[in-house]
Amino acid sequence: MTAHTVRGSNRFRFPWSSRLWILSAALGALTVYTAVSTIHDGNQRRLALSLITQATAMHLSTLASARLERFAIEAFAPAGPLAPSPPAGSAGRTTAEFLARRQRQGEACACRELLRVSQFFHYDVTTGQMDVVAVDSVRERASGVETGILQEIARAESQAPRGVSNASSRFIADQRLGDRSIVALVQRDDRGTALAVYGMLVDTRETLGAAFARGAGHSAIDSAGLTRLDSLSLEVTTAEDERLFGALGPGRAKGVVLLGGPLRGLRLTIAIAETRVASPLLAPHSRTRLWHLAVLLAATIVTLAISVGASRRELMLARARSDFIAGVSHDLRMPLAQILIASETLSLRRERTDGERVSLASSIVRETRRLMALVDNVLLFSRSGAVELKPAVRPVGVTELLSDVSDAVQLAVEDAGQSIEIAPAPATTVMGDRRLVRQALVNLVDNALKYGTPGQRIRLGAEPDGASVRLFVEDEGPGIPAVDRDRIFEPYARLAHDQVSERTGTGLGLAVVRQIAVACGGRVWLEDAPARGTRAVIELRAAPATAPFAAAPEVA
């Protein structure tokens, strides 16, 4: 990380891009943390899964109780269990036999949904008489339940307090019954006194399976697409944790409810895996929270983009500043060295002839002009960055302007072993600041001298083009690729092969030319020369025929 020392202090001031990167890193970390905590919030997922499991358990318990109640009513309805006493003229045994006969008929015709019953019994609370009738002999032998056990269970059921309606049935699981259970219905009078107990002996697992069966393979919750149950999703146990039906899979969220209605006294446990719950239910995020996350992510991306741009600009400016310092140092060293050598020679009177003295004086003048041109470019460019460049636009004679430029660069051209000529041009005038336009043309010639071939010929000229005049400088150099012609007018821009060559400079010459052309109401561009090389063109407005010429400035 680059740091700049603050004058008069030991503290450091970090570049603006470094602060942006720190802000980007902080925003990025906050965005990642927020996204992970929002999308993968384990607490919310567990809470949602727990609520879904509990709701599923409550729903299934209600369905199972209602289904078992319907089975009981369907089985006991022929005997009129809701009447205050058995049908007139029918004893208990007759009633039990009637129920068994109706069961056999129903199973034979398969016209209604019935539980698979092995025995029916009727217990008279007043007399204590117990009558048991088997549906068929095969089931009776398979059940193996003693009548005394059934009588004890029926007596206890008649004496148990009831908080439900007089006709409510009940599923009774007793260890003495083995794998069998009893579905009993207590008959009461208007005052709630038990008169009789009707019951049927059924297989425990088969009966509970029928009560918790999912119609057409789906429960009501399944049909809504919220969750999917499997063979390891539910378990029914007694209050003593004796499992009666079902099994639970490991690693699942569990919900426990106490069953009511005919299944009162039993417990239902539902176990649901996350993979069997609809995914939107486990990510209950509000739209506002998601919008906040999106805004935070967008802010992070924008900050990162600004950071990348700022860092890139700082790197480019740092490189340009380094190239500028190197170029200025080189451009200052060579003229100053020439001036120093020539001045020392003259001051020590080491010249042998008048011709050598004139040559040394000319060298001092030439290098001084080069230094002045360099300083003018730097000052003009630095001034244009602070305030708007305001040229004094007046009519300027093209012929005199080109002649002035040729005289100004003659010594530099001869020193480079090249030549310069002014192409024939009609007498015309342009609108511009004479001093600035002259500096722009001198910059173009200096650029041709640096990057042209040895012994080349540089041509200055002008071409009228309707309401404008095109001033041009042609060289015989290698030329500039079309894709780079606009870019090299940017400050400090150089071609790739010139960045590693011995040719150097401030990188401001062509940038100053563009500023001058735009300030004078014109434009500048590069194109191929007619023969070979590059042609630099400055297009300015033609001056009115009656406008007076601007006086040529005195040249030191």
Question: Of 106-115, 355-364, 504-513, 544-553, which gets the smallest average pLDDT?
Answer: 544-553
Q: Which residue has the higher pLDDT, 400 or 499?
A: 400
Task: Give me the pLDDT at residue 25, please.
Answer: 77
pLDDT tens across 485-514, in order? Answer: 888 888 766 665 555 444 455 567 788 888
> Residues 74-99: what's their mean pLDDT?
61
Task: Give me the pLDDT at residue 195, please.
Answer: 87
pLDDT tens across 363-397, in order? Answer: 787 778 777 777 776 666 665 554 456 788 889 99
Per-chain mean pLDDT for the chain: 77
pLDDT tens across 311-326, in order? Answer: 777 777 777 677 667 6
Report the DSSP beta bridge partners of residue 253: 272
554 to each of 404, 435, 547, how far by Cα in Å?
10, 10, 21
How many residues are listed for the chain in this entry? 556
CA distance 81 to 438: 122
Question: Of 7-21, 44-58, 99-113, 429-443, which gets the smallest average pLDDT?
Answer: 7-21
Residue 11 has pLDDT above 50, yes or no: no
Residue 470 pLDDT grade (very low, low, confident, very high; cuts 50, 70, 90): very high
Task: Give me the pLDDT at residue 236, please.
Answer: 92
Residue 213 has pLDDT above 80, yes or no: no
497 φ/ψ sector (left φ>0, alpha ψ -120 to 50, else beta): alpha
Q: Residues 365, 367, 371, 376: what is their CA dihedral angle, to the nearest 10 degrees?
A: 60
Residue 471 has pLDDT above 90, yes or no: yes
Task: Give me the pLDDT at residue 183, please.
Answer: 92
Task: Give me the pLDDT at residue 288, please.
Answer: 73
- The two tokens of residue 488 are 């090299």
CA distance 320 to 507: 9
Q: Which of 475, 481, 508 minimizes the C-alpha distance to 493?
A: 508
Task: Give me the pLDDT at residue 538, please.
Answer: 93
For residues 283-303, b (16+ Cβ closer than 10 Å) or e, as one string?
eeeeeeeeeebeebbeebeeb
CB 169 within 8 A of CB 184: yes
CA distance 199 to 170: 9
Q: Which of 461, 474, 471 minimizes the C-alpha distance to 424?
A: 461
Q: Which residues contact 381 (CB under 8 A, 6 or more apart)?
A: 491, 508, 511, 512, 515
3-state secondary structure 369-405: HHHHHHHHHHHHHHHHHHCCCCCCCEEEEHHHHHHHH
The reported pTM is 0.47
Share of residues in the chain with pLDDT > 90 (%)? 9
CA distance 352 to 257: 122
Domains of the chain from N-terminus onward: 70-210 (3.30.450), 367-541 (3.30.565.10)
